[in-house]
Amino acid sequence: MDKSKLAHAVIFFTDPSFIQLVACGTRELNLDNGEKLVIPDIVKTTMHSTLVELYLSHCDETDSQPLSRSSLFRIFNACSASKRSCLKGLDNISAEGSAAFDTCIYIISEIEKMGLLSAWSKAISSKLKSYKMYLKTDFKLHLEIESRCADHCLQWALSDTTDKSGNFKVHCLHKHDISCDRCSLLENFKLEMQNAFRQQPPIEQLKDLQYDFETAIEKIDEWKKHILRTVN
């Protein structure tokens, strides 16, 4: 990895416009000489995909040569910051979830350029837009404390399946034997996209698109969880 390009990206990503210090909390930096440096904790105020797009636009405007998109995302994995969890950030969950749909639409258009039929592109884009509208409107109306549909069952959907203590997990006394066609739209979309990725040659651009896709799906899932919490 080009060190000058790396330094250029890190300076941009650590701009105070995109991160902020928290009032309490620290983290340790392990230096090469074995010493540990305690610094104030920081939180991210902008999602990674947005930062990458901003940085690439900045490089284009300044005639700078950036690292590849996948390398830029690896910088975030190496230079971790806390996720914002205060109330101030809750509004961003919906905004980032909504923006993630736009990212998916862009990815679909890029895959279409690689040779997939435009009819497929239009059909899968339509399904995605239908799911977005469903999340924004009818989804919360279908939610109940107990429901035979797992996606509509609040006590099931809000349970932490990884919690071993049992304090944050509920075992429903009823079966989840009903599915919702509209809730299944996202899962079907993911399967179709994964199949589309497999049909393409393994080029660098495809890896970048796959990373963006996985990140976008995570943001959409977080938006869905946020809606569940607001109803509960």
Residue 205 pLDDT class (50, 70, 90 cuts): confident
Q: Pairing state of beta strands 19-30 and 82-83?
A: unpaired
* Mean pLDDT confidence for 170-195: 90
Write out the H or E segment, with its range, that includes residue 29: strand 19-30
Residues 111 and 215 in one domain: yes
Reported as type and span, the H/E element at residue 22 is strand 19-30
Checking if the pLDDT of 87 tops 50, the result is no
pLDDT recorded at residue 41: 61
pTM to 2 decimal places: 0.61
Question: In terms of domains, do 99 and 204 share one?
Answer: yes
- What confidence score (pLDDT) does residue 103 get? 92
Of the candidates 62, 230, 79, 92, the one whose C-alpha atom is nearest the C-alpha of residue 157 is 230
Same domain, 121 and 94: yes
- Per-residue pLDDT at 105 exceeds 90: yes
Please state at what angle helix 3-13 crosses helix 48-62, rounded to 10 degrees: 120
Domain residues for 46?
A: 1-85
Q: Does 193 share its domain with 222? A: yes
52 and 140 part of one domain: no
The count of structural domains within the chain is 2
pLDDT, mean of residues 35-44: 65
Note the pLDDT of residue 157.
Answer: 81
Predicted pLDDT at 126: 93
pLDDT tier at 115, thresholds 50, 70, 90: confident
Residues 75 and 109 in one domain: no
How would you classify the pairing of strands 82-83 and 36-44? parallel
Q: Average pLDDT of 65-82?
A: 78
CB–CB of 50/99 below 8 Å? yes
- 127, 198: one domain: yes
Cβ partners under 8 Å of residue 50, min gap 6: 96, 99
Q: Using the predicted structure, report yes or no on whether residue 128 has a pLDDT greater than 90.
A: yes
> Do 219 and 156 reside in the same domain of the chain?
yes
Q: List the single range of 88-92, 121-125, 197-201 with lowest mean pLDDT.
A: 88-92
Same domain for 122 and 78, yes or no, is: no
Which one of 55, 85, 115 terminates a domain?
85
Whether residues 34 and 146 share a domain: the answer is no
% of residues, the chain, pLDDT over 90: 23
Q: Please say which residue of 56, 85, 114 terminates a domain.
A: 85
| Residue environment code for 83-120, b if the CB has 16+ CB neighbours within 10 A, otherwise e | ebeeeeeeeebbebbebbbebbbebbeebbeeeeeeee
Please compute the mean of the pLDDT values over residues 225-232 and round it to a whole number: 81
Q: What is the pLDDT of residue 188?
A: 93
**pLDDT in the model for residue 86:** 46
- 110 shares a domain with 170: yes
Which domain-ending residue is among 85, 114, 143?
A: 85
Residue 45 and residue 148 share a domain: no
Average pLDDT, the chain: 81
The stretches of the chain forming alpha helices (DSSP H) are 3-13, 48-62, 69-78, 90-113, 118-136, 154-157, 184-198, 204-231
Is residue 187 scored above 80 in pLDDT? yes
More confident site: 64 or 44? 64
